[in-house]
Amino acid sequence: MRKRMWMLAAGFFVLVIIHGVFHWWMEPIFVAKGSHFGGMPDMVADTLLFGLFCLYAFWFYRRSERKRDKYQTLLNASESMAGTGAWTYDVRGKSFHATAGLWQIIEKESDPLHSIEACLSMVDVSDRERIGSAIKKALHTSSGWQLQYGITTFKGHRKRIESKGKVLKIGGNHFLVATIFDITVTTEQQRRVHFFNALVNHSYESVLLTDTERRIFYVNEAFCKMTGYTKAEVIGQTPHALKSSGHQDAAFYERLWESIERKHHWEGELLNRKKSGEVYRERIVISAVYHDEALLGYGAVSSEIASRNKTLEHYLHIGEYDPLTGLLGRFAFMERLDTTIVSQSSAQQLALLLLDIDNFKKVNDGLGLMSGDRVLQLIADRLQSLCEDAVAVGHIGGDEFGILYTDLDDEALHLKSVQIQELFAVPFGIADTMVYLSCSIGIALYPYDAADADAILRKADIALQQAKHAGKGSTLFYSAQIEGNAPQMLALEHQLHEGIERNEFFLQYQPKVSLIDGEITGFEALARWKNSEGESIPPGRFIPMAEASDLIITISEQLYAQAFAFADALAAAEPDRDFHVALNLAARQLGKPAQLLTLLENLFERYPKAAHHIELELIERMLLESNQELLNVMQTCKTMGIMFAIDDFGTGYSSLSYLKKFPVDKLKIDQSFVKGVLKDDKDRQIVSTIIQMAETLGFTTIAEGAETEAEVRFLQRHGCAVAQGYYFSKPVEPNRATELFLLQPFKDDTVFFGDYTI
Ligand code: C2E
Ligand code: CA
Ligand code: CA
């Protein structure tokens, strides 16, 4: 303020000087001319000078206003950040002034008429007297005060306030000047800390906290009681320095810390040693504690496990964890399986995946046992990180692993087994050698396949053995059929090999008929097999067996050649007609994309007229397991003129928007829904919804398994483009298929004439 006055006075002084200089300079000029400087010219000059001064004063005033506004805004912001406010009270003049921070704290619009009494009325009644006497005392002694009290804001919120103030005497007048702090949060935090402290101190669970260097800075009473160490003995030490049971090796702890670093958390059971040397078993949760992404330290909460119905010696004997891999050992894994079954409601599904490394012997034989062990450790690591969501992952023994899942449906289990197989796609690096491996998986389900742990393990093992017979990298779910047919399955597998050698596989073709006019738009090629004894084996039996191993790839190669020859001949016979021969594509064929693409390229070269007449049918699940590679393969196929249809649509995830990511042209509505359209409202709805949505997204719909006129009429009415089923024709020999294509007999079918409603 004073500075501003000085600057204005200086401005005025400069003006007076300029005025003087002006007269001193102008007057001799006027006198020389024989006149006098005054009158009109002097008035004009003075007015100009005065105007200039006014301009200066105005500019000066605006500048200081702006400056004040700026500082006021900054001050308000800093007050608001700090949760502070300030007020002054002129005791004689009874005027009260408050800063924006204060209004914010009491949650009221700034109000110049607000009185100190009104402020006091917000304070908790129980605190008012204390505040009144503190201020009175400060007035008497010209001193200050520091108080904490509660208020209820104008919006009704309860807040805790700290106020610091003092009395200033200016010109015989007393002023109260005070700052207030909103300490609600801090008080609440302190209250909570106090609360937790009390709880942790008196908890039955042992609690241990360390800093980031893992040096202990806190343990509670329960820890001391459980371990026998006093606080003084452990504070400042690392847990490592305490006695270890020796039952978990360095690799185990390495994995444990690795898990904490990755997931900020580890939970499990381990054997530890008390100060007295006694070994005990504890369940422990270790957490890495972060604040604002910075590590604060680690906390461990644990409790001793009373040895339930087993004796401690039992655990010591069986070894909870397998020392080689750090996974659960065989007995502990089985026990986990057992307890999970007991605690499980029978409505929940529990799955045991038993995994065996194919030809592991070659690793041990070729690289030595040490390297074999290292490979097992690497496998265990990969399994553990993939199966984090499993109930348990165990090393059952040798090259066998077990994984326990609850609440995964068949679809999800299948996906998981594929992911496990994919873990082996990346070779294992041992020193400078790359080891390529695959695994076989057998899966058994509780309660469907067996009702107790031992039986589940046995069933999973039967499935595993069958999977091994099926070939490297196979997965099989247990089924009574597998068990009952185990010997026949072996025989079938043998026959499949023979069948391939003897070219016993052939195709039948089932027409796909346009529901607009009955024209045959193409055929689905379906595998058939007559074995050396002249027995026809249905695809439902041999395809799953072949698909469990790479046999399906060889069989498909033989069948695709036949289908291309058929398409080539048909195109030659009817060069101007559009049609597609649809081939079923197995997951394993997509698993070897280079081989598939080479096969297709070679066949197009051999049967050039087949170009633009080939379609591949694949099921949704194959897309869900997909990766960029699959998309690339599909796109390459598209450039060859191949179309894609999704088979059995509606039975999987049925995500149309997901399908849009892939170059899919057609959807084949699964037979089960088509069968239901006449009986089941839900099926009717599913079919009509699929048709509608598919149309919106630009897919053509094909209904499978249309057997009756009524079904065909329903599909027709709901806008389904094409139908395939016994109503029109069963799968037929190639010659008959060609004949049907040339004759187009379905164009005369009754469904394409007249009205009919259901
Ligand atoms: P899919 O691909 O769903 O083939 C349709 C199945 O439905 C065929 O059974 C066909 O004969 C049957 N079908 C067609 N219309 C009707 C009908 O109106 N009523 C009834 N009840 N069934 C009808 P199929 O030939 O026994 O084949 C069974 C499955 O075997 C096929 O199901 C497919 O998943 C697989 N398959 C067949 N051929 C091959 C092949 O060459 N490669 C591969 N990977 N799988 C094949
Ligand atoms: Ca099919
Ligand atoms: Ca189908």
pLDDT, position 736: 98
Closest ligand 1 atom, residue 538 Cα: 26
pLDDT, position 68: 64
Tokens, residue 528:
């058939």
Tokens, residue 320:
């909870």
Average pLDDT value for residue range 574-588? 95
Residue 543 CB–ligand 1 contact under 6 Å: yes
Residue 598: band (very low, low, confident or very high) from pLDDT cuts 50, 70, 90: very high
Residue 707 CB–ligand 1 contact under 6 Å: yes
**540: CA distance to ligand 1 center in Å?**
8
Higher pLDDT, 5 or 94: 94
**525: CA distance to ligand 2 center in Å?**
8
Tokens, residue 545:
């067996």
- Beta carbons of 289 and 211 less than 8 angstroms apart: no
Residue 397: band (very low, low, confident or very high) from pLDDT cuts 50, 70, 90: confident
Closest ligand 1 atom, residue 727 Cα: 18
Residue 309: band (very low, low, confident or very high) from pLDDT cuts 50, 70, 90: very low
* pLDDT tens per residue, range 690-726: 898 888 888 999 999 999 999 999 999 999 999 999 9
Residue 599 CB–ligand 1 contact under 6 Å: no
**668: CA distance to ligand 2 center in Å?**
8
Closest ligand 1 atom, residue 583 Cα: 41
pLDDT, position 266: 83
Residue 308: band (very low, low, confident or very high) from pLDDT cuts 50, 70, 90: very low
Residue 647 CB–ligand 1 contact under 6 Å: yes
* pLDDT tens per residue, range 15-57: 888 878 877 887 787 777 777 666 777 778 778 878 887 887 8
Strands (E), 420-519: 428-430, 433-435, 439-446, 475-477, 505-514
Per 3-state DSSP, the chain is made up of helix, strand and coil in percentages (nearest 5) of 50, 25, 25
Strands (E), 573-721: 580-584, 614-619, 643-649, 666-669, 700-704
**647: CA distance to ligand 2 center in Å?**
5
- Answer whether residue 685 shows pLDDT above 70: yes
Element (H, E) at 251: helix 250-263
- How far is residue 521's CA from residue 665's CA, in Å, rounded to a whole number? 14
* pLDDT tens per residue, range 45-101: 778 878 887 887 888 778 777 766 665 666 666 666 667 888 888 888 888 888 888
Residue 511 CB–ligand 1 contact under 6 Å: no
What is the separation of C-alpha 419 from the centre of its chain, rounded to a whole number of angstroms?
16
- How far is residue 140's CA from residue 156's CA, in Å, rounded to a whole number? 34
* pLDDT tens per residue, range 146-179: 989 999 998 888 888 999 999 888 777 888 899 9
Residue 648 CB–ligand 1 contact under 6 Å: yes
Instruction: Give nearest CA residue, ligand 1 atom 23.
Output: 705
List all residues 6 or more positions away from 216 whose beta carbon is below 8 Å from its beta carbon: 208, 209, 210, 234, 235, 236, 237, 238, 239
Instruction: Give nearest CA residue, ligand 1 atom 25.
Output: 526
Which one-letter DSSP state was computed for residue 300? E
Residue given tokens 């390459």 in the structure block: 636
Q: Which of 140-144, 419-423, 512-516 is the least confident region?
A: 140-144
Instruction: Give nearest CA residue, ligand 1 atom 13.
Output: 705
- Answer whether residue 583 shows pLDDT above 90: yes
Average pLDDT value for residue range 596-620? 96
Tokens, residue 659:
């399908």
Q: Label the pairing between strands 536-537 and 520-530.
A: antiparallel
Cα-Cα-Cα-Cα dihedral sign, residues 607, 612, 617, 621: positive
* Nearest Cα to Cα of residue 240 among 322, 306, 298: 298
Higher pLDDT, 605 or 72: 605
Residue 540 CB–ligand 1 contact under 6 Å: yes
- How far is residue 751's CA from residue 519's CA, in Å, rounded to a whole number? 12
Closest ligand 1 atom, residue 585 Cα: 44
**739: CA distance to ligand 2 center in Å?**
22
Instruction: Give nearest CA residue, ligand 1 atom 30.
Output: 539
Tokens, residue 115:
């009185």
Amino acid at 372: G
**647: CA distance to ligand 3 center in Å?**
5
Closest ligand 1 atom, residue 706 Cα: 18
- How far is residue 574's CA from residue 740's CA, in Å, rounded to a whole number? 12
Instruction: Give nearest CA residue, ligand 1 atom 43.
Output: 584
Instruction: Give nearest CA residue, ligand 1 atom 22.
Output: 705
pTM score: 0.48
**599: CA distance to ligand 1 center in Å?**
23
- Beta pairing partners, 178: 87, 165
Residue 557 CB–ligand 1 contact under 6 Å: no
List all residues 6 or more positions away from 38 whose beta carbon is below 8 Å from its beta carbon: none
**651: CA distance to ligand 2 center in Å?**
13
Tokens, residue 398:
């040798």
Closest ligand 1 atom, residue 589 Cα: 44
- Answer whether residue 190 shows pLDDT above 80: no
Tokens, residue 35:
């006149």
Tokens, residue 240:
């490592």
Tokens, residue 507:
């195709």
Residue 731 CB–ligand 1 contact under 6 Å: yes
**167: CA distance to ligand 2 center in Å?**
93
Mutational pocket test of ligand 1: of 504, 509, 526, 560, the residue with most ligand atoms within 8 Å of the beta carbon? 526
Residue 725 CB–ligand 1 contact under 6 Å: yes
Residue 650 CB–ligand 1 contact under 6 Å: no
Average pLDDT value for residue range 521-538? 93
Dihedral, CA atoms, 488, 491, 495, 497, nearest 10 degrees? 120
* pLDDT tens per residue, range 443-459: 999 888 888 888 999 99
Mutational pocket test of ligand 1: of 543, 551, 599, the residue with most ligand atoms within 8 Å of the beta carbon? 543
Rounded to the nearest integer, the mean pLDDT of the chain is: 85
Instruction: Give nearest CA residue, ligand 1 atom 20.
Output: 705
* pLDDT tens per residue, range 284-303: 888 888 887 888 889 998 88
Residue 314: band (very low, low, confident or very high) from pLDDT cuts 50, 70, 90: very low
Residue 245: band (very low, low, confident or very high) from pLDDT cuts 50, 70, 90: low
Tokens, residue 294:
């910075």
Q: What percent of the chain has pLDDT over 90?
A: 32
**560: CA distance to ligand 2 center in Å?**
14
Other C-beta atoms within 10 Å of 29: how many?
A: 10
Residue 527 CB–ligand 1 contact under 6 Å: yes
Whose atoms come closest to the Cα of 670: which ligand?
A: 3
Closest ligand 1 atom, residue 670 Cα: 3
pLDDT, position 119: 81
**45: CA distance to ligand 3 center in Å?**
105
Residue 510 CB–ligand 1 contact under 6 Å: yes
